[in-house]
Structures are given as structure tokens and as C-alpha cells.
Structure 1
Amino acid sequence: MLSRITQAMRRLSPCDLPEMKVAPPITLTDIEHRRLNVLAMAGSGHDATASDRMYWELDRARIVPEAELAAGTVRMGSIVSYRTDGGVVGNITLVYPDQADSSGRTSILSPLGTALIGVSVGDSIPWSSEDGRPVTLTVTSVSGP
């Protein structure tokens, strides 16, 4: 596994993915960290870029036991509200790829899902809008799972 992460890191730098230029620290539970590693390694149903983004986040995450995860931290199943620096408000539920749909259930392997995992209320994330403009997403609330 480490060799695959190392290979991904050699191919990928924060400059390659705008949403990772100045990313806030993230925290994951040990269980979710393992599950997301397996998901990224599986490679079925997603492309290499999605795996690379996930590996980047997993590599920089602080790992804690489930009982030590702070309230307000985005994890699988969380309902996340955010706003952009342009005033756009969004709400998603972070789910595994097979549970994603058009009603706001967003896959962890989507660029937005991967960027949000492990951040906390108040954290801001550099992002690219649909038309390519740089924006900043700020997490305003996290509830569940």
C-alpha cells in the first residue's frame, strides 16, 4: 500500500489539484481511514484521479479512535452545510459511491466529498467552481451520522 501512496504522491502535488493548495488539517477515525484506503485501492467505479485525491487526504490525516473524534468533524454519513466566499450555500450528505444520488447524497470519491472528509465546522477549503473560478468553501455545520 505504501508504495502505491508513494507513487501517487510522486505523480501528484498540491499544485496539481487546486482544492489541495492550502487545505486545513483533517482527522479521521481509524475505522474510516482503513475503509477509505480499501475503497481507494479497489479502483472499481472510479478513476485514478479520484484514488489519488483520496490517497492525498488519507496520507495527511490525523488518525484517532472512534471515541476521540471531535463533534463537528465531517465523516461518512455526515450532513454538511457550507457556504462559499461568494455567498453560495450548499448542503450535502457524505456517502459511499454506491449510495450517491442527485438529491444531495455526495460520493466520498467526488472532488467535493474527498475535500470535505475530516474537516471541522469553521474550516475553509480552497475550491474551484463549476466554471473554474477559485472559491473558498467554509463548513458551517456538521450533523450526524
Structure 2
Amino acid sequence: MNDTANAVGKPPIIVRSADYARLIALAQASMDRETVVGDELMAELERASVMVDESAVRQTVQMGSTATYTTANGEARTVTLVYPGEADIEENKVSILTPIGVALLGLSKGQTINWIARDGHVRVLSIIDVGR
């Protein structure tokens, strides 16, 4: 993790090594189409700790994880983080190529992050549970 990430108040994150290369490729490809989301995903991946050990990532939001979080107004929501082709809002499956998907990646229970929504407003979310 670099000092810049700490300076803007982002918590440390962990990414499973099995997903890391695919996520890097996805971020690079999306930078041509969705510059903001692709750039943000790349920035998150660059500051992430990459872990091989499954036990180290078990309690963090990874691809395929289900996360329950609260918003700044206390509203709770449960979603599953997925690759773009698997996204389905009716099933609460959120793509990694969305601002909320990028914000969720690598967080663990108790962590809070500020993220920028598509409307340009800064939002806050706090992880209250992570499951598989």
C-alpha cells in the first residue's frame, strides 16, 4: 500500500492472487471505455495487498463474495461482487466495473470507505459482514 492511498483515507485492502491478473486485465481493457471506473479499479489494485493464502482473504470482499454494508444514512444492503457478465441487479449481483463494485473490493468487516458515485457525489459505506 502506498502513502497516497493513506493520505486520501482509504483503508488497506486485500485481493486474492487468483483474481488479481484477471482484474488487472479487466481494468486495462475498461480504461478505454469507462475511463473513470477503469482508472479507479487500477488504482485500487495497485494499492492492494495480494494474498495467495485463502484464509487471509476469507473475511474480505473478493470476487464472488457476498457483502453486507451500510450507507451513511444507515441503510443496509447485501450484494454479491461479480465479473461484468454475471451482473444482475435484480439478484443483487454487482459488477466489479461499477463504482460501488470497485469500492467494495478487498474490504473487510468493520472497514469504511469513501467512494465517488457515477453522479460525482462522495458516498460512504461500511462493511458489516462478508460471506462466500
Question: What is the TM-score with the length of structure 1 in the denominator?
Answer: 0.76
Structure 2 residue 96 is the aligned partner of structure 1 residue 111: no
Matches within 5 A, 1:1-145: 21-43=8-30, 46-103=33-90, 104-128=92-116, 134-144=122-132
Percent of aligned pairs with the same residue?
35
Kindly provide the CA deviation profile for residues 42-77 of structure 1, in whole angstroms up to 9, marking residues without a partner as x: 238941212101110010000110434243100001
Preserved contact between residue 78 and residue 93 of structure 1 (Cα < 8 Å): yes
Kindly provide the CA deviation profile for residues 20-56 of structure 1, in whole angstroms up to 9, marking residues without a partner as x: 9311100111121111001112238941212101110
Q: 1:92 is matched by which residue type in structure 2?
A: V
Structure-2 separation of matches of 1:24 and 1:138 = 11
C-alpha displacement of 1:105:
0.7
Equivalent residues, number: 127
Preserved contact between residue 86 and residue 135 of structure 1 (Cα < 8 Å): no
Preserved contact between residue 46 and residue 109 of structure 1 (Cα < 8 Å): no
Larger radius of gyration: 1
Distance 1:131 1:57, change over 3 A: closer
- Secondary structure of residue in 2 paired with 1:34: helix
| Residue ranges of structure 1 left out of the alignment (5+ in a row) | 1-12, 15-19
